[in-house]
């Protein structure tokens, strides 16, 4: 089926044909004819990446009265990124509709161009709730002539805390205006809003609720908490043709992982809320042009990012909610293409995965951590663009790479990168996902102080080349292996941790001796707090480094 039978004007059909759309998606096939004929309110449930913008945007544009310069349609969405994306899509759809103007209103940017756009007049406003409410309060925007109101990603807007803002805005929209609610899920808060502000809406559901795309393979890779980044790097090295998104929980994690990946030779960039609009656009342009292979993003910053060719979505931490996982994984497996959604998980988080598996009815495929030898073979084959070296050891692969020279067949930069990768794994220990042995805790006398415990601590048999440090945080401060690694990474460089022992009031961990003074001095010179407590790091008792054995 093509778009022609849906009833769209020739100008819109020409625009979508020029944009390369041939067949409507299921949500478009059902929503477009309904909105072209009906004035009844509508609730549409469909997952991210199913073409919702065109589903409501094309009929909305067709029903604009070009002779009326007032705002006739209002689209509300959760983030500036999605706001910009929707506005751009509508502008592309309406290029053949003379005089139809669309304007994006969002925070975090200079308001003057937006005010100038309001003065010129806009038939369609695409806005984030906060910015629109500010403009309504200053009487810069008028909604008295709005005929259609769209709430896009309503579940996300409520999740981000916009319920009060939405209520204030909806009260200013004419009661006779058609209300359209688009959402990936239907939590109770969305249902309440629908019952309050919509009049007997027609409901369209595409796909079953709480289900995942059949085009996406859901994988999990188990690692120890301290090996999260190392496991991520190994997966990326074993997947040289990846074109994907890596999701992090915080802006700090996003920037840190992006920086570490760039340092390790990957073409990456961070995408988070601290970026200026111009910086975000630069990142997205490079990503779309494949000059960047991987974008590391927060959930909020990734809203509105629509690239159907993504091969992978990687979760550095498993989300707490299945809806977040569904939104993330829906970024791949689009436009009829298959994709992979990978969770990097440690044993303490396994219960979260089991909960999501149960809710979504999806069993995740556990994949092994790629070995250095496996990575070497894949890298060699990718370099030569043919199957080769399937039986070679890592040493033999390194020897073969040493004999290769740049040519028409072998790219010089890629050859250098592969050599460096193989060299790295020649000297890097393999990772294990086997459960670590639990060592018996050392008991201290009743009433002993934390300082006495640290000074009297008897170091364990330490890993070769490492020394044991102590930090004044423990279980009572809710410190875990993951948060300890993040604290130590705050030194500015990637510092590998050895064995970790977290007790009640403090924690002991190993680092390579040359890094030990760097870690201690960092926390002396850079005041750092964890859970409101100033962080101190010192050598553990009379610990002395264990010398590395000479070959």
Evaluate the CA torsion angle 433, 265, 412, 243 in order and state its sign: positive
Give the model's pLDDT for residue 443. Answer: 46
Percentages of the chain per state (helix, strand, coil), in multiples of 5: 40, 15, 45
Least-confidence region, from 31-40, 45-54, 195-204, 235-244:
45-54
- All residues at 6 or more sequence positions from 130 whose CB lies less than 8 Å from its CB, including other chains: 107, 162, 165
Least-confidence region, from 241-250, 261-270, 482-491:
482-491
The arithmetic mean of pLDDT across residues 21-35, rounded, is: 91
Report d(CA 87, CA 256) in Å as an integer: 31
Give the model's pLDDT for residue 550. Answer: 45
Range 450-539 classified under CATH 3.40.50.150: no
Give the model's pLDDT for residue 460. Answer: 55
**Superfamily of domain 4-205 in the CATH hierarchy:** P-loop containing nucleotide triphosphate hydrolases (3.40.50.300)
The arithmetic mean of pLDDT across residues 408-435, rounded, is: 86
Same fold, 216-366 and 450-539: no
At 51, is the pLDDT very low, low, confident or very high (cuts 50, 70, 90)? confident
Q: Residue 233: pLDDT above 90? A: yes
Give the model's pLDDT for residue 505. Answer: 86
In DSSP terms, 313 is beta-bridged to: 245, 341
pLDDT digits (tens, 9 = 90+) for 371-399: 999 999 999 998 988 877 778 899 999 99
At 329, is the pLDDT very low, low, confident or very high (cuts 50, 70, 90)? confident
What is the second-level CATH architecture of the domain 216-366? 3-Layer(aba) Sandwich (3.40)
The domain ranges of the chain are: 4-205, 216-366, 372-426, 450-539
- Using DSSP, state whether 459 is helix, strand or coil: coil
Q: Residue 446: pLDDT above 60? A: no
Evaluate the CA torsion angle 277, 489, 428, 500 in order and state its sign: negative
């Amino acid at each position: 089926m093509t778009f022609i039978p849906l009833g769209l004007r020739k100008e819109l059909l020409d625009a979508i044909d020029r944009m390369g759309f041939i067949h409507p998606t299921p949500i478009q096939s059902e929503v477009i004819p309904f909105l072209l004929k009906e004035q009844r309110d509508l609730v549409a449930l469909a997952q991210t990446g199913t073409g919702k913008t065109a589903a409501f945007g094309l009929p909305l544009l067709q029903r604009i009265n070009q002779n009326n310069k007032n705002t006739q349609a209002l689209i509300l969405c959760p983030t500036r990124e999605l706001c910009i994306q929707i506005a751009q899509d509508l502008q592309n759809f309406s290029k053949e509709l003379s005089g139809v103007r669309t304007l994006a209103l969002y925070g975090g940017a200079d308001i003057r161009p937006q005010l100038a756009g309001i003065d010129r007049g806009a038939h369609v406003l695409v806005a984030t709730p906060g910015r629109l409410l500010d403009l309504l309060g200053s009487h810069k925007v008028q909604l008295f002539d709005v005929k259609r109101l769209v709430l896009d990603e309503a579940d996300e807007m409520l999740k981000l805390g916009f319920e009060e803002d939405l209520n204030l805005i909806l009260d200013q929209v004419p009661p006779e205006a058609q209300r359209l609610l688009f959402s990936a899920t239907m939590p109770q808060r969305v249902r309440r809003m629908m019952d309050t502000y919509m009049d007997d809406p027609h409901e369209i559901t595409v796909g079953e609720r709480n289900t995942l795309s059949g085009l996406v393979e859901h994988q999990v890779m188990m690692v120890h908490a301290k090996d999260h980044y190392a496991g991520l790097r190994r997966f990326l090295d074993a997947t040289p043709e990846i074109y994907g998104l890596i999701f992090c929980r915080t802006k700090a994690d996003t920037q840190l992982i992006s920086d570490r990946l760039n340092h390790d030779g990957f073409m990456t960039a961070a995408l988070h809320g601290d970026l200026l609009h111009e910086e975000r656009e630069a990142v997205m342009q490079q990503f779309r042009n494949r000059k960047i292979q991987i974008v590391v993003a927060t959930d909020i910053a990734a809203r509105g990012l629509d690239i159907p060719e993504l091969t992978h979505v990687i979760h550095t931490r498993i989300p707490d909610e299945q809806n977040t996982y569904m939104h993330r994984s829906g970024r791949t497996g689009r436009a009829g293409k298959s994709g992979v959604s990978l969770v990097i998980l440690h044993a303490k988080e396994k219960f979260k995965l089991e909960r999501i598996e149960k809710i979504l009815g999806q069993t995740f495929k556990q994949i092994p951590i790629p070995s250095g030898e496996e990575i070497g073979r894949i890298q060699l084959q990718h370099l030569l663009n043919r199957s080769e070296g399937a039986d070679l050891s890592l040493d033999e692969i390194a020897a073969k790479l040493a004999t290769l020279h740049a040519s028409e067949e072998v790219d010089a930069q890629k050859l250098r990168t592969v050599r460096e990768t193989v060299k790295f794994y020649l000297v890097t220990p393999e990772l294990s996902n086997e459960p670590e042995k639990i060592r018996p805790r050392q008991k201290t006398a009743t009433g002993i102080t934390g300082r006495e415990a640290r000074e009297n601590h008897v170091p364990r048999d330490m890993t070769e080349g490492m020394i044991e440090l102590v930090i004044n945080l423990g279980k009572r401060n809710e410190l875990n292996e993951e948060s300890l690694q993040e604290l130590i990474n705050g030194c500015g460089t990637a510092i590998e941790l050895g064995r970790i022992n977290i007790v009640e009031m403090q924690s002991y961990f190993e680092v390579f001796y040359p890094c030990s003074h760097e870690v201690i001095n960092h926390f002396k010179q850079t005041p750092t707090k964890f859970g409101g407590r100033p962080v101190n790091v010192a050598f553990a008792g009379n610990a002395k480094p264990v010398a590395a054995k000479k070959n």
